[in-house]
Each structure stands twice: as C-alpha cells, then as structure tokens.
Amino acid sequence: MKFMIFHTLEPNSSLDTIEQKCKGIPNDPQIRGVASYLNLTEGKGVCFCDAPDRKSLSLWLRKNDIPFDSICPVEYEAQDGKFVEVSAPAAASAT
C-alpha cells in the first residue's frame, strides 16, 4: 500500500541534516520510500512510502527515530491530471 507521511521538521533543519539522516536509515524489505517533498521555510515535509500496512510503517518510523505528525493511506493518485484509484496489493489487503 502507498502512504503519505506528514512531518513537522525540527526548527532550523537544513537540507544537509535531513539528507544525512535519510542516508543513515537502514533498508527494510517491506518499507520503501517513493518520494519526499520538503518546505524548510515552513518546517513541513510530506513523504510517500510503500508499506504493507499503517502499523508496520508507524513502527518502522519510530524504530528509526523519524518523527511524524500523521500517516494517511493513499486512495487516489494523478498522472497528467487524470486520477486513478490506488489498489492495495493482495497481501497488504489481508492485514
């Protein structure tokens, strides 16, 4: 399943600090980062990840000391202005 993760960044976070933190996160076969969007001026970030379920993703974030405000499953995504429903993999639907 694809999830949006909303973050409030540490005050005075720099891109270099965030990049170093991300490089230090160990790979996990079930959690995959897809994309990240940051606004350092306002101290906000949104990341997109693939994970089996919200609980697994939440545990992984906490284990890796990655603060987050909320996690939201993605229901629809758009490419070139056309929205399509995001379907969960069969294994992820069972959890």
Strand partners, 14: none
CB 63 within 8 A of CB 27: no
- Domains in the chain, ordered, with CATH? 2-87 (3.30.70)
SS3 47: strand
Interior/surface letters 44-70, b for 16+ CB within 10 angstroms, e for the rest: ebebbbbbbbeebbbebbeeeeeeeee
pLDDT number for residue 24: 85
Kindly report the pTM of this predicted structure.
0.83
Per-residue pLDDT of 23-52, as tens digits, reads: 889 889 999 999 999 999 999 999 999 999
